[in-house]
């Protein structure tokens, strides 16, 4: 097989969504796709893999994420390593990376070549993560797709006091009974996440980038994070696929 016929597959099996990325021998993106991880229809995952196999000659694969051991691939790596390498492929500088996922938050200090210098993670509580946003938003009938636009029309500083999802739901219900505007509720949810992130060690004397599925669906969150940190924060291209892309880069480099 000629070198230019080889393609490399990265799979990020997250707690909420599974992301598939294919790159060529130069590391250029050729394919990406996302599907809910816990879908009842396993055929969805099998169909994506079949589509990839039909279109590309996959030479090596790497899996990462919450369910990486469930995929029988060639290499398995942590999300920390894959996020650092994926972002570094676009931004080869000394940097901080914020990765907000479905059930955890990671702060990574990353070297120019993608080496993980230091990292910090939230505890096992899902507060401030994608699952947290989804659960409490559903409780007040707030659509995920409209949250950023709504929050951007509010200037409230009111925030959820509890990091516990159960108590946060109760708190939001009291807001709803008090007829707090839906714009303020949306912004209040985001401010609670910003408060959570502020408790994690983030270096702001180096460039700061953010990736992950949460920022892909909640772009206004970046504005609030930047305001809290007092530093410019840049959203990477295709943020939801960044960890999977890092896994594909690893498959290409081995």
* Domain extent listing, the chain: 3-86+241-253, 130-195
Residue 21's pLDDT is: 98
Residue 1's pLDDT is: 46
Same fold, 3-86+241-253 and 130-195: yes
Chosen CATH of 130-195 out of 3.30.420.40, 2.70.170.10, 3.60.20.10, 3.60.15.10: 3.30.420.40
Residues of the chain with confidence (pLDDT) below 70: 1-4, 39-42, 123-128, 163
Residue 40's pLDDT is: 64
Q: Label residues 205-229 b or e (16+ Cβ within 10 Å = b).
A: eebbbbbbbbbbbbebbbebbbeeb
Residue 4's pLDDT is: 66
Fold of 3-86+241-253: Nucleotidyltransferase; domain 5 (3.30.420)
Report d(CA 224, CA 14) in Å as an integer: 25
**Of 211, 224, 1, which Cα lies nearest the Cα of 86?**
211
CA dist 99 → 7, 55, 232 (Å):
26, 31, 16
What six digits make up the tokens of 190?
């985001």
Tens of pLDDT, residue by residue over 230-245, are 999 999 999 999 999 9
């Amino acid at each position: 097989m000629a070198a230019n016929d080889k393609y490399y597959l990265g799979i990020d099996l997250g707690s909420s969504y599974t992301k598939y990325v294919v790159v060529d021998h130069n590391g250029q993106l050729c394919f990406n796709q996302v599907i809910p991880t816990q879908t009842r229809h396993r055929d969805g995952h099998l169909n994506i893999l079949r589509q990839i196999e039909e279109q590309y000659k996959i030479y090596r694969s790497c899996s990462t994420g919450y369910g990486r051991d469930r995929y029988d691939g060639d290499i398995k790596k942590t999300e920390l390593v894959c996020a650092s390498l994926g972002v570094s492929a676009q931004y080869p500088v000394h940097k901080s990376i914020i990765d907000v996922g479905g059930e955890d938050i990671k702060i990574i200090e990353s070297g120019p070549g993608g080496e993980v210098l230091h990292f910090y993670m939230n505890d096992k509580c899902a507060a401030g993560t994608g699952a947290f946003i989804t659960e409490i938003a559903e409780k007040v009938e707030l659509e995920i797709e409209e949250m950023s636009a709504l929050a951007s029309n509010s200037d409230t500083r009111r925030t959820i006091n509890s990091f516990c999802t159960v108590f946060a739901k109760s708190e939001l219900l009291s807001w709803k009974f008090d007829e707090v505007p839906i714009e303020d509720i949306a912004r209040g949810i985001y401010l609670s996440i910003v408060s959570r992130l502020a408790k994690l060690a983030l270096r702001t004397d180096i460039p700061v980038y953010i990736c992950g599925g949460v920022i892909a669906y909640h772009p206004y969150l970046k504005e609030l994070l930047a305001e809290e940190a007092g530093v410019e924060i840049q959203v990477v291209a295709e943020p939801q696929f960044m960890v999977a892309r890092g896994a594909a880069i690893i498959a290409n480099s081995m």
